């Protein structure tokens, strides 16, 4: 598992090795445990406070290409 970014010193955006399709990242920390689809850049599982979700989804959208490359590196 690799942490790609930290938000608010509490939440970690992670790519997990040997994970399943569709391509996604995990946001974990506190009571938050969500999956974000890298194709649609939407939350595909779990719930997250609105302000945090907006912040994280904006960051994922901005870094989407590099996150997809990293996903493909771990999931050939």
Cα four-point dihedral sign 33, 37, 43, 49: positive
Structure confidence at residue 2 (pLDDT): 84
Q: Domain count of the chain?
A: 1
Helices marked H in 5-63 — which ranges?
Answer: 50-62
Cα four-point dihedral sign 20, 22, 23, 27: negative
Q: How far apart are CA 43 and CA 76, in angstroms?
A: 24
pTM: 0.94
Structure confidence at residue 76 (pLDDT): 83
Summarize pLDDT for 28-58 with one digit per residue, the tens: 999 999 999 999 999 999 999 999 999 999 9
CB-CB neighbours of 72 under 10 Å: 10
Write out the residue range of the structural domain in which residue 10 sits. 2-74
């Amino acid at each position: 598992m690799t942490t790609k970014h930290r938000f608010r010193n509490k939440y970690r955006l992670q790519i997990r090795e040997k994970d399943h399709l569709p391509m996604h990242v995990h946001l974990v920390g506190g009571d938050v445990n969500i999956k974000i689809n890298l194709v649609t850049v939407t939350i595909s599982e779990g719930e997250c406070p609105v302000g945090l979700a907006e912040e994280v989804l904006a960051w994922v959208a901005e870094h989407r290409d590099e996150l997809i490359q990293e996903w493909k590196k771990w999931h050939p």
